[in-house]
Amino acid sequence: MKLVLGTLGTAVVLAGAVAVSVQANATTPQDPGSQLRASMAEAHIGGYMGWWNSTPLDGSPLGPPDVVAVNTNTGTIVDYFNRAKADAGQQTLASDSTYQVAPDPTWPASSVVIIDTATDKVIDSFPVDEKGRVIYTLEDGTKFAG
């Protein structure tokens, strides 16, 4: 009987030790958006949306027919939009553009500039981080990349 009780006691102690060990190795609860933010941080930027590449509900063209988005740090085209191709259901890639970028020292640093290819005019710009994510500034001055 002593042997049975001794064995049972040892089993209870071991089970308790395992339970404590498992709890000690459990991950700390994370906020619900942390995994999404982590995966988005590694995501490739697929393009930028703005008034220059949108079509109003009435179907009238609002923006220019052909625009490129240029990263001001690298001088490379990172996005391209052609309204005629978009209206025909064709997707465009940055590599589809034949526009020759002429970097301008007046462009804002660490930004993307939107250029109307017909006029060579910068029609919009916004700051980006090193991965090309847009940097937003809240009313209180807090900045975040998204």
Q: Which domain holds residue 92?
A: 46-145
52, part of any domain = yes
68, part of any domain = yes
126, part of any domain = yes
26, part of any domain = no
114, part of any domain = yes
36, part of any domain = no
Mean pLDDT in residue range 101-121: 96
Taking CA atoms, 60 is separated from 56, 82, 87, in Å, by: 6, 15, 11
Mean pLDDT in residue range 64-88: 94
d(CA 14, CA 103): 69
- The confidence score (pLDDT) of residue 8 equals 47
Mean pLDDT in residue range 67-83: 95
29, part of any domain = no
Return the higher-pLDDT residue of 101 and 29: 101
Return the higher-pLDDT residue of 46 and 132: 132
Concatenated DSSP letters for 44-70? PP----SGGG---TT----S-SEEEEE
37, part of any domain = no
Task: Flag whether the pTM goes above 0.85.
Answer: no
Counting the structural domains of the chain, the total is 1
pLDDT at 95 over 60: yes
pLDDT at 54 over 70: yes
